[in-house]
A and B are shown apart, each in its own frame.
Chain A
Amino acid sequence: MATILIVDDDAAMREGLAETLGDLGHRAIEAPDGDVALAIAARERLDAVLLDLRIPRMDGLEILRQLRSRPDRAPPVAILTAYASAANTIEAMRLGAFDHLTKPIGRDDLISLVSRMLRSRTAALPPTAPEGNDEVLVGSSDAMRAVQKMIGLVTDSDATVLIHR
């Protein structure tokens, strides 16, 4: 049994996620905003976090940054957002998000996501570089989203990346 934190301001969404996680036999903790989420994160030992980007008072990316501030003991964090842009996808991946998914997320996708997260507790890059520049990448297809995620993952390394299709 794993402990998974759900951060989302939408009660129905939280409940649906919690229900699915309960079905899988995990313990779900719900947080409606960033303050509650960080308080819980400080107190509990979390195995994974499902984080909405647009939540009251504190931006989802800011919560992600704080959750990932100590990468050695940080849980994997998956971003669930209703509106994915290239900028927030790359930024989330750069900050060490485990994955970046667009709502509506299906039950099977969620189950697969959670199992992947629990399997790779340690995989994630620490944030080291300052803010990237705001160049615009256009595209919202699955293939393009995969590219954007990859860019986010490698953006702080010195590797030269060829984007090829």
Chain B
Amino acid sequence: MPRSIIGWFVVCWSAFVLASVVVGVLLLSLYRQTTTEQVRRASAAVAHGCDAIAGRYQFLVAGTNSPPSDLRAPEVVRGLTGAVQIALRDLPGVEGGIWQTEQGSLAYAFPTYEGTGEKTDLPSAEEPQIRDAAEASALDGVPVDRRRETQSQVLLLHACPLTGPIPHLAAWTMARVITSGGRSYVEAMAGLGVLLLVVLGSAAWLGRLLLGWTRRVRRLEAALAAGTGELPRLDATGQRDLDRIIDAINRAGGRLADARREAEALARQVAESQRLATLGRVVAGVAHEIRNPIAAMRLKAENAIAAGHDIPRKDQALRTIIDQIGRLEGLLRNLLSSVQRAKPILTPVEDVIDFLNERVDLFREQAAAHGLAFKVEGRSIDAAFDSARIGQAIDNLVLNAIQNTPPGGSITISAERSADRLVLSVADMGQGVPEDVRAQLFEPFVTARPDGTGLGLAVVREIAEAHGGTARAIHRPDGTTFIIELPWRPS
């Protein structure tokens, strides 16, 4: 079973050629049959003609016992010719005559001759054959059939002995069956010619069609393959069936492009509104964190002015103001480091556990004040990372854990290496992160604690991402585990 339309065409065309060959063969055999039949009919006619001449001759010589003295006497010739004439009158295409061995042709007639005038002379081309047949027949006293086939005709010659007063006498008849140039020949050849023309024409036409089709399909294929992402706009090929498909593809492509444009516009809108929402939260956070110190400074300053000459009070106001300026500066520094991505400076760390212990030591006093204990877990690992910044991230997480864990709880800090990742984690035993904050937990100014600035985790994420790693939180039923995952590099 062919799978392509071209395969189907070839199969159909092959069937058509087969049918044509069969028809051709039938035509030829029909023609041959026709020729054979004609020859059979003609030989029957010549035999019949010869018999008829013999009959006429018997009638002519009835009662005569001696041969005429001069066989070429006009009355003799006239009589014989008349007998032949009458005998062959009703046999179209048959000519004949009477032959005497010693005297040669005594009579000849071709009553159904189709040419102009009357044909009275023996066809000289066939004379040797006529002589041969007639003399053989007269000699043997039996009918003789001679048949000569040439390219364009079959010559049928029949001779039969004439018994009577004239010795060595025979009648002959002859007919020609035209084999080429005849009506059935022309018909057969015309049929074959038309068949051949149709076969060749259809082959050429089909070939051209298939070639055009293949070329168009290949062009379509190339145009479709060339399109990057979107469906390309296809040009009409001029072939109606293909053009219908192309129209459909073009329409589908248009719809696809519209849908894509719409989706992109929507995605842009969503991204924009998310950006605005994040910005809104950040700005609200900044406003809150900046207005508190400003409010304190303003009140202290106005109080100091209102106090008149109370110098210690003015000094105290100035100190408060300086403290608040420091607070604002710290806030801005944190804010900047939460959004500024600096390339980490990798330093070798021989044992990550020792490194973690050093960080934790800074908070032992503070933790003890809250009634908390630290646990540092993990096997000794060597690694390379920006120890100052990772230290800052760990500090933020530990501070976060201290503030979130109720007294009596413990904080677990651990390090482990899995294949090419270094995983640092800080687990607290707090109340967990409220659902509404989880999604934006690592954004600046997102905090579940009213006293937090919401910058600690943003800084942690920024440091982790600067190292090519990630920061995330796992929300356990009994607390939260913050994880910093870094690509592991050997020290």
Cβ of A19 within 8 Å of any chain B Cβ, yes or no, is yes
Q: Are A104 and B300 in contact (CB under 8 A)?
A: no
B291 proximal to A (CB < 8 A): yes
Distance to closest chain A CB from B15 (angstroms): 78
CB-defined contacts of A82 to chain B, threshold 8 Å? 287-292, 295
Chain A residues with Cβ below 8 Å from B451 are 9, 55-56
B181 CB to closest chain A CB, in angstroms?
Answer: 107
* B residues 284-305 touching A (CB-CB < 8 Å): 284, 287-300, 302-303
| Residue from B288, B298, B307 in contact with A83 in the complex, judged by beta carbons closer than 8 Å | B288
Closest Cβ–Cβ distance, residue B88 to chain A (whole Å): 127
Query: B198: shortest Cβ distance to chain A, in Å?
Result: 84
Q: A103: CB under 8 A from chain B?
A: yes
A83 nearest CB neighbor, chain B only: B288
Complex: A85 Cα to B280 Cα, angstroms = 12
Taken residue by residue from 1 to 27, chain A's Cβ proximity to chain B (1 for < 8 Å, 0 otherwise) reads as 000000001101101110110010000
- How many residues of A are counted as interface, with CB atoms below 8 angstroms from the partner's CB atoms? 27
- A130 in contact (CB, < 8 A): no
Q: Known: A9-B451, A55-B450. Is A106-B298 also a contact (CB below 8 A)? A: yes
Contact of A105 among B299, B306, B449, B450 (CB under 8 A): B299
Q: Is A65 an interface residue (CB 8 A)?
A: no
- A121 lies within 8 A of chain B by Cβ: no
In the complex, B58 has a CB within 8 A of chain A: no
Contact B302 A107 (CB under 8 A): yes
A85 — which chain B residues lie within 8 A by C-beta?
284
| B323 touches A (CB below 8 Å) | yes
Q: Is B324 an interface residue (CB 8 A)?
A: yes
Most buried by A among B296, B306, B320: B296
Query: Which of A12, A56, A80 is in CB contact (< 8 Å) with B449?
Result: A56
Interface size class of B (residues with CB under 8 A): 20 to 34
**B299 engages A107 (CB within 8 Å):** yes
Asked if A16 contacts B303 (CB within 8 A), the reply is yes
Also in contact, A106 and B292, with CB within 8 A (given A54-B450, A59-B450)? no
Q: Return the CB mask of A64-103 against B: 1 if under 8 Å, else 0.
A: 0000000000000000101101000000000000000011
Chain A contacts of B302 at CB under 8 A? Answer: 20, 106-108
Chain A's nearest CB lies how many Å from the CB of B447?
10
* Chain A hits for B450, CB < 8 A: 9, 54-57, 59
Interchain CA distance A56-B292 in the complex, whole Å:
15
Contact A16 B291 (CB under 8 A): no
List the B side residues contacting A15 at CB < 8 Å.
296, 300, 320
CA distance A19 to B306 in the complex (A): 11
Say whether A38 faces chain B, with CB atoms less than 8 Å apart: no
Contacts of A110 in B (CB 8 A): 299
A83 near B306 with CB under 8 A, answer no
Once the chains bind, are A12 and B296 in contact (CB under 8 Å)?
A: yes
Which of B297, B300, B323 gathers the greatest number of chain A CB atoms within 10 Å?
B300
Residue of A whose beta carbon sits closest to that of B304: A19
> In the assembled complex, which residues on chain A have CB atoms less than 8 Å from the CB atom of B300?
12, 15-16, 19
Q: What is the chain B residue whose CB lies nearest that of A55?
A: B450
Q: With contacts A54-B450, A55-B450, A56-B449 known, is A104 near B295, CB below 8 A? A: yes
Report the separation of the CA atoms of residues A108 and B320 in the bound assembly, to the nearest whole angstrom.
20
* CB contact under 8 A between A16 and B296, given known A9-B451, A106-B302: yes
- Bound Cα distance from A128 to B295, whole angstroms: 34
Residues of A near B297 (CB, < 8 A) are 12, 104
Enumerate chain A residues within 8 angstroms of B291, measured Cβ to Cβ.
82-83, 102-104
Say how far A63's CB is from chain B's closest CB, in angstroms. 11
User: Do A12 and B293 touch (CB < 8 A)?
Assistant: yes
Q: A17 contacts which chain B residues (CB < 8 A)?
A: 299
Question: B320 touching A54 by the CB < 8 A rule?
Answer: no
Contact A13 B306 (CB under 8 A): no
Chain A contacts for B303, CB-based, 8 A: 16, 19-20, 23, 107
Residues of A within 8 A of B298 (CB): 16, 104-107
Are the CB atoms of A105 and B288 closer together than 8 Å? no
Chain A residues within an 8 Å CB radius of B284: 83, 85
Nearest chain A CB to B299's CB is how many angstroms away? 3
Q: Mark A119-141, 1 if CB is under 8 A from B, else 0.
A: 00000000000000000000000
Residues of B within 8 A of A102 (CB): 291
When distances are taken between beta carbons in the complex, the residues of chain B under 8 Å from A13 are 292, 295-296, 299
Residues of B within 8 A of A59 (CB): 450
Bound-state CA distance A57–B324 (Å) is 24
Which residue from chain B places its CB closest to the CB of A105 in the assembled complex?
A: B295
For the complex of A and B, list the 6 residue pairs with the smallest distance between their C-beta atoms, beginning with the closest: A16-B299, A104-B295, A103-B295, A107-B302, A82-B291, A12-B296
The chain A residues found within 8 Å of chain B, CB to CB, are 9-10, 12-13, 15-17, 19-20, 23, 54-57, 59, 80, 82-83, 85, 102-108, 110
- Further contacts, 18 of them, CB under 8 A, given A15-B296, A104-B295, A104-B299: A12-B297, A12-B323, A13-B295, A13-B296, A16-B296, A16-B300, A19-B299, A20-B303, A23-B303, A55-B451, A80-B295, A82-B292, A103-B292, A103-B294, A104-B294, A104-B297, A105-B298, A106-B299
A-B contact pairs, 24 of them (CB 8 A): A9-B451, A10-B292, A12-B323, A13-B295, A13-B296, A16-B296, A19-B299, A23-B303, A23-B307, A54-B288, A54-B450, A55-B451, A56-B449, A57-B450, A82-B291, A83-B284, A83-B291, A85-B284, A104-B291, A104-B295, A104-B297, A104-B298, A105-B295, A107-B306
Binding site for A on B (CB under 8 A): 284, 287-300, 302-303, 306-307, 320, 323-324, 449-451
